[in-house]
Amino acid sequence: MRRLNGGEIQISDVTTTTPSPFATSLLFGYVAEFMYQSDAPLAERRASVLSLDSELLRNLLGQVDPGELLDPQVIRQVEEELQRLAPGRRAKGEEGLFDLLRELGPMTVEDLAQRHTGSSEEVASYLENLLAVKRIFPAMISGQERLACMDDAARLRDALGVRLPESLPEIYLHRVSYPLRDLFLRYLRAHALVTAEQLAHEF
C-alpha cells in the first residue's frame, strides 16, 4: 500500500474478453450463489429477506413493512391462534374464561364470547361468578367498558390511570415496577404483527 500511495505502483483500467484468474473465482462464486435463486418458492425468498439485517435493509430499500414480506394467510392464521380465535384454541368453562383475561388482557364481554366455546348465556354466567368472587373487575379503557383479571389492577391503574373499584383486596394494589411495559409486551405476544397506531388505540 505504501508503494501504491507513493506512485511506484499504478493501477490501470483494461477491458479483456475473459476475467482475470483472480476475478474468475469471484465470478464463479457469484453465479453459483444466484443461479437457482429464481427457482426458490416465493415464501422461501420472502423468509430469506426477513433474515437480513433490518437496518441494512432499510438503508438499501427504505422503510420495509414486514407484512409485505409474509404470506397474508399465514399472518391471519397466526393471529387467530395467538388471539384464541381458532377453533382449537378457544377457551372452555369458567377457568378458561379467566385465562383469556390473564393471557390476552382486558376485553369486552363480546370479545370474550368470541373466544369461548360456550353460549352467550354460559359466558355471562361464568363472568357473574368471577365478578362475585372478585377474580375479575370492570374497567373503562380507551372509552370501552372491559373486564380485567384482578392481577392487572395495579398495572392498569399505574400505566393507564384506570379507576379501580372500591374495596379491592390490598394484595392487588401494590405498585408494579414497569406497568406500561408489561401491558405492551403482553399485547405484542398476543398478535402476529403490531403497529404503533394499534397500540395507541388499544391503550
Are 109 and 70 part of one and the same domain? Answer: no
Domain extent at residue 59: 43-82
Whether the CB-CB separation of 68 and 115 falls below 8 Å is answered with no
Residue 114 lies in a domain: yes
- Evaluate whether 147 touches 108 at the Cβ level (below 8 Å): yes
Q: Which among 90, 175, 107 is positioned nearest to 141, based on CA atoms?
A: 107
Q: Is 192 a domain residue?
A: yes
pTM for the whole structure: 0.68
- State whether 102 and 177 are in the same domain: yes
CATH (domain of 187):
1.10.10.10
Number of domains in the chain: 2
Mean pLDDT of 100-129: 97
pLDDT at 200: 86
Within a domain: 138:
yes
Pairing relation of β-strands 144-149 and 136-141? Answer: antiparallel
| Residue 155 domain-assigned (yes or no) | yes
Taking 60 as the threshold, does the pLDDT of residue 35 lie above it?
A: no
pLDDT in tens, 140-199: 998 999 999 999 999 999 999 999 998 888 999 999 999 999 999 999 999 998 888 888
- Inside any domain, residue 99: yes
Which residue, of 19, 54, 82, is where some domain finishes? 82
Do 102 and 197 share a domain, yes or no? yes
- Mean pLDDT along residues 21-27: 70
Closest CA to 68 of 38, 46, 53, 45: 46
Give yes or no: residues 126 and 198 share one domain. Answer: yes
Same structural domain, 78 and 95: no
The per-residue pLDDT for range 39-83, each reduced to its tens digit, is: 556 566 556 655 555 665 566 556 656 666 678 898 999 999 999
**Domain assignment present for 22:** no
For the stretch 172-185, pLDDT in tens is 999 999 999 999 99
Is there a single domain that holds both residue 93 and residue 177?
Answer: yes
